[in-house]
Structure 1
Amino acid sequence: MSITTDAAPTTTLVTMPLQLGQVRLKNRLVSAPMERNYCDTEGHLSRQYKEYLLERARAGVGLVFTEATYVRADGKGRTHQLGAHDDSCIAPLADLTAAMHAEGALVGCELNHGGRTAQSRISGSPNLAPSAIPCAIAGGEVPKEMTEAEALELVEAYAAAARRCVRAGIDVLSIHGGHGYLVHQFMSPLYNHRTDAFADPVHFLNLVIEAVRAAAPGLAVGLRFSAVEGTPGGLDADATFAIISRARLSQLDFLDVSAGSYEAGEWIVQSGEWQPGFLREAAERYRVFGLPIGMAGRINSPEVVEDLLQAGAVDFVSLGRALHADPDFARAALEGGSYRPCIACNVCIDNLGDGQVGCTVNPGVGRGTVPVPLPRVRPGVSVLVAGAGPAGLTAARDLAIAGAAVTLVDPANDIGGQMALAATMQSTPDFHRFLDWSRAELQRLGVRVQLGSSVDEVLAAQRAGGHEPQGIIRATGGERPAVPHSGGSAAGAPMVVEVRDWLRRGEPTPQACTVWGADAVGMSVADTLASRGASVLLVGSETEIALESGRRAKILAVPRLRANPQVRIVLGATVTAIEADRLQVSVDGGAPQWLDAPGPVLVSHGVLQNGDLHTEDGVTPVATEAFAASKPAGSPSTIRFAIQSGTDAARRLGALLG
């Protein structure tokens, strides 16, 4: 699917206004409530968060939600989550709404309580839930089963938060009834084992709807819910529909369809393997209620947006990752043009438990500061960038935007480096979108790309022609541990080859192979080859598959590997010998044992990234250690850190050449 549109869309549904109750959206684009950890510990918006949201408003989004906003302190799920739990939250929200209204955007707030997913170590208060069922993924604390009186107090907490939002000038309220939070817990048979009036899965929801509606009569009020819970024994599509059909829909102005729960996180934030717009049929079903319908879920291109609107499946789209990766997605949907595409790697959601929510492809978000414009270089400055992986692509683009004449050199025959290899894997099919966009951007900006050439050759030719570059960035990739055995030469000897080298060869899928190394690359290669029919032995010293990756990055691949009868997994293993069709390993320090291992041995032992930035070819060195500011020394490289290092290097060099 194309990621750019050179002309304005031929249809204009996305630009049409939409009435939600008493408020009017200027178009059909909604920035979804997406937690980002950009607040202070008291639940107040930071300047960074305000500027982040304003950037989306300036791009043309009609309605910008903040994030899941806790209505009472014991419902706080993260240390830096947004709150509407007391009056101190009103002034920061009011400041935001005034600024957003000045940009022509409406502001929404999603009212939420974590219930069983909130943990006392975060909130400072014991957590409450419909029933005393812990959430292992959130921390495993056993919640207190609330009394009927406590449930009613929580209903009033939703109303009180709504009144604070009214005072702050918020335009739209959304009740969070999905993703495994408190309202959803009352709805789900997995987490509501009550026998009183609140045993009815719609009872708490209806009380909250009525309370919020009464507290905010002039605002648009809607419900976000999971059309499918995604967990065995939980709410399927029919059960959810039956509950929503009994909700106080006459007091709502819209429905916003999502999916999933904490125990089924793959439904909430989907990987690149999922079909774009996969909730379309689920959203269409709710048309019968006559309310405006919104939808989230892998809406990753303007074409998908327009298709959903043209088909009448939805009235608006809720965009999370697409706008996080680039607010220009909104401009592209409204006016045409290019945008930096989300690659569905899910680094953003995996950051949520660790700190600020960043983005693999957008180095300007989640770094604790308000991004500043690139420095401008002096007229006539030329720069040479060595390496066309994600770091080099980013540095070349940024320096071209800064006004430099840029030459990008790589000995390979195409751009992308290791990211191009990753784009061929089953679990990361959208990675090519960043490379396609980069290629188009380099062409748009006039970057000279020389492939199949070494940097020394190009530099010599430039000097011979009297065109000495004023700056050089070396983004030539990482250092890999040596492969323990070269193999493949002696008769009957196994082929032992570094996995990236094997992938570059374009070898056909073997009938059987060993992947030696259970890191993220090893996981991805084993998963891909197994999906193509290979019998795979995955063996590694690691105690867990892809230990360095976040949960969502491996939420499909690891269970798939474990369930495949053609895959054998041996962890905690030291390989002590390799012979034809077998490996000798010691597991957890035990006695050596031989494992059948036919086919090639593909070694994945990680990559440690580094790089150097020089001006005037080393006369004035500037230390970069490409990832020093972004990750611990010696840790595995990632595409995210490569892109961050590329933009950081470009800024340093741009400042020197300004």
Structure 2
Amino acid sequence: MAEEIHGNAPVPGVPFFAPLHAVSPGTAKDLSENTPTLFRPLKIRGVTLRNRICVSPMCHYSCAPSGPQTGVMTPLYLTTIGHYAFKGAALTMVEATGVCPTGRISVNCPGLYNDAQQHGLKAVADFVHAQGGLIGVQLSHAGRKSSTQAPWVAIRQQKSSARATLDHGGWPQDVVGPTGGQGFSWDGKSDEDPTGGYWTPREMSAAEIGGLIKDFAMAAKRAVEAGVDVIEIHASHGYLLHQFISPITNRRGDDFGGSFENRISVVVGIIKAVRAVIPNTMPLFVRISATDWMEETEIGKRLGSWKLDDTIRLALLLPDLGVDVLDVSSAGNCNEASYTVFNAGKQQAEMAGIVRRALAESGKRLLIGTVGEITRAKQAYDIVQDVSGGPQADLISVGRAFLRDPSWVMKVAEELGVDAAWPTQIARPQIVKLSPKI
């Protein structure tokens, strides 16, 4: 019947031919009471995820570092992000995207502050939509972790990070943070130390903070015009907004520092500004590091740090600000932390569950996502399934498993016994395999 209805009809609204899928790839063909939550659709405002599996924003560091194509996504982004959508991921999130030239992590990171970058993003969005998927963009400012070179450049120098000078396309004089000065570089090393991988930041002025909020709003407007379905505000992993909310990195004495309310004020201002310029039908995500992992360190005990209790306190404010999903990660703000963004993942689903229960107990409605070392079907199932104690999250973001296998959604479906639709163009081999007559 689906073939009779759709024939060879094209996907409407994209500037190229793509066959209209009879059933969107990665979608459970038949929903029943036995269908795992992982493969149940999830409606968020005006969009519907075809399953609960999202692709985590993963940096490619592959945009031009200078010239008219600076920060513009290349065909590599089509082949990677597009492939995940083609193989059934519900939402593919574009990596940390700078809201201004000096907000990018590295000289090779994407931006969303000019027309060329907007057009590059639209090309990727068009392809994802042609596959029945959704695309998000993670808007970011890297703060004191900005103006670096691509990681493989650092590796060739036998370093974990390498500074980008003006010759590399960097901006060493415009690396900023909530607090600046000697000793506030991410690795604690001075600019004169050749072993250092990060620049010393200067403290942002109140006027620059106002400009930052406007930059996020303008980038959000560009994302809407590019056809993006979801916007995520990046307030984790040690980038600028995380630096503002943590008392370790924010030691300001003005209205943007000191108390919890002051430290979160920049994030709150950005949320309000972004929500005001995007459609009411568009979901707004915030990614947070649930903890700095600095509670047991000397500096954490002396100054305090960002902890799980703070994340819960912030989470309770988000629904009234128009946030739909809190994406729970951790770490990245301090070099001395007990865990890094690469090895803290096993604890993040548990923390997400704690935040989710706290919201439920308060009567607040906020969807929870989580990320980190989710590599197995049963593990993904357990995180979102309503088992004893309730689910830990409503959706998951997956990184490394997709890097190893872009068909991970289909692999998980098979392991969980879900008959999920394959892309139209490659579904025929599945029929051949199942039919004894061919």
**RMSD over aligned Cα atoms:** 2.4
- Corresponding letter in the other structure for 1:112: S
CA drift at 1:54 = 1.3
1:332 paired residue among 411, 422, 429:
411
Shift of residue 170, structure 1, vs aligned partner? 0.4
Distance 1:59 1:303, change over 3 A: same
Name the residue aligned to 1:181. 239
For 1:117 and 1:21, the matched residues in 2 are separated by 34
Q: Give the corresponding residue for 1:301.
A: 376
Closer/same/farther in 2, CA of residues 333 and 276 from structure 1, 3 Å limit: farther
> Which one of the candidate residues 393, 405, 408 is aligned to 1:314?
393
- Are positions 1:227 and 2:290 aligned together? yes
- The answer to whether 1:105 aligns with 2:178 is no
* 1:266 paired residue number: 339
Residues 337 and 325 from structure 1, CA distance in 2 versus in 1: closer, same or farther, beyond 3 angstroms? farther
Aligned to 1:131: 179
Deviation of 1:66 (Å):
1.1
**Larger deviation, residues 122-131 vs 212-221:** 122-131
Q: Is the 8 A contact 1:261 1:267 kept in 2?
A: yes
Give the equivalent residue in structure 1 for 2:25.
Answer: none
* 1:202 alignment counterpart: 264
Are the aligned partners of 1:171 and 1:220 in contact in 2 as well (CA < 8 Å)?
yes
Counting strand residues as a fraction of each chain, which structure ranks higher?
1
Tell me the CA shift for residue 211 of structure 1. Answer: 0.8
Q: 2:224 aligns with which of 166, 173, 188?
A: 166
Distance 1:40 1:140 in 2: 21
Q: SS of the residue aligned with 2:138?
A: strand
Cα 1:280–1:223 shift into 2, 3 Å = closer
2:39 is aligned with 1:15: yes
Of all paired residues, the percent bearing the same amino acid is 30
Match of 1:393?
A: none
CA change 1:286–1:298 in 2 (3 A) is farther
8 Å Cα contact 1:176-1:225 kept in structure 2: yes
- TM-score, structure 1 as length reference: 0.48
2:104 match = 76
Distance 1:152 1:241 in 2: 26
Question: In structure 2, what is the equivalent of residue 143 of structure 1?
Answer: 201
Corresponding position of 1:370? none
SS in 1 for 2:209: helix
CA contact (8 A) 1:276 1:300 kept: no
Confirm or deny: 8 A CA contact 2:350 2:392 kept in the other structure. Answer: no
Superposition map of 1:87-486 within 5 A:
87-119=115-147, 121=165, 123-124=170-171, 126-132=174-180, 133-136=184-187, 139-199=197-257, 200-217=262-279, 218-231=281-294, 232=297, 233=300, 234-247=305-318, 249-263=320-334, 264=337, 266-270=339-343, 274=346, 277-285=349-357, 287-288=359-360, 289-311=364-386, 312-336=391-415
Give the corresponding residue for 2:87.
Answer: 59
SS at 1:198's partner residue?
coil
What 5-or-longer segments of structure 1 have no aligned partner? 1-7, 339-658
What one-letter code is carried by the residue in structure 1 that aligns with 2:134?
L
Are 1:209 and 1:248, in contact at CA under 8 Å, matched by a contact in 2? no
Counterparts of 2:228 and 2:379, CA distance in 1: 29
- Partner Cα separation in structure 1 for residue 255 and residue 351 of structure 2: 32
Once the two structures are superposed, what CA deviation does each residue of 1:213-251 show, in whole Å capped at 9, x if it has no partner?
Answer: 112124211101011111231212113322333456431
What SS does the corresponding residue of 2:43 show, helix, strand or coil?
strand
DSSP 3-state at the match of 2:256? helix
Deviations 1:280-322 (A, max 9, x none): 5444345433111110122111111111111322110011111
Q: How many Å separate the matches in 2 of 1:337 and 1:310? A: 12
Structure 2 SS opposite 1:53? helix
Are 1:227 and 1:282, in contact at CA under 8 Å, matched by a contact in 2? no
Looking at both structures, which has the greater relative contact order when contacts are Cα pairs under 8 Å and sequence separation is at least 6?
2
Distance 2:373 2:140 in 1: 23
| Alignment match, 1:345 | none
Report if the CA contact (8 A) 2:234-2:287 is conserved. Answer: yes
Cα distance change of structure 1 residues 248 and 152 upon mapping to structure 2, 3 Å threshold: farther
Is the contact made by 1:253 and 1:291 (CA closer than 8 Å) also made in structure 2? yes
What does residue 497 of structure 1 align with? Answer: none
Alignment partners' CA distance in 2, 1:96 and 1:308 = 30
* CA distance in 2: counterparts of 1:96 and 1:19, whole angstroms: 23
The 1-side partners of 2:256 and 2:310 are apart by 17
Give the secondary-structure state (helix, strand or coil) at the position aligned to 1:213: helix
The 3-state SS of whatever aligns with 1:298 is: coil
Task: Give, in whole Å, the separation in 2 of the partners of 1:330 and 1:107.
Answer: 16
Distance 1:66 1:276 in 2: 21
Tell whether the 8 Å contact from 1:30 to 1:63 is kept in structure 2 after alignment.
yes
The amino acid of 2:313's aligned partner reads: A
Task: Deviation per CA, 1:369-425: give whole Å up to 9, x if none.
Answer: xxxxxxxxxxxxxxxxxxxxxxxxxxxxxxxxxxxxxxxxxxxxxxxxxxxxxxxxx
Q: TM-score, normalised by structure 2?
A: 0.70
* 2:412 aligned counterpart, secondary structure: helix
Deviates more, 1:135-144 or 1:223-232: 135-144
Kept in 1: contact 2:59–2:109 (CA 8 A):
yes
Letter in 1 for 2:366: L
Tell me whether 219-228 or 282-291 shows the greater mean CA deviation: 282-291
The question of whether the paired residues in 1 share the 8 Å contact of 2:349 and 2:393 is answered with: no
Structure 1 residues 301, 98: closer, same or farther in 2, change over 3 A? Answer: same
Q: Say which SS state the counterpart of residue 303 (structure 1) adopts.
A: helix
Alpha-carbon shift at residue 335 of structure 1 (Å): 3.7
Where does structure 2 lack aligned partners over 5 or more consecutive residues? 1-29, 148-163, 189-195, 418-438
* 2:51 pairs with one of 27, 43, 50: 27
CA distance in 2 between partners of 1:144 and 1:24 (Å): 42
Amino acid at match of 1:296: V
Pair member with larger Rg:
1
Paired with 2:355 and 2:319, the residues of 1 have a C-alpha distance of 18
CA distance in 2, matches of 1:191, 1:262: 8
Whole-angstrom CA distance in 1 between matches of 2:277 and 2:338 = 32
CA 139–104 in structure 1, closer or farther in 2 if over 3 Å, else same: same
Quick check: 2:319–2:366 contact (8 Å CA) kept in 1?
Answer: no
* Distance in 2 (alpha carbons) for counterparts of 1:287 and 1:123: 42
Alignment: residue pair count: 330
Q: Matches of 1:32 and 1:283 in 2, distance apart?
A: 20
Residue-by-residue CA offset, 1:190-221 (whole Å, 9 max, x unaligned): 01111211111110011000111112124211
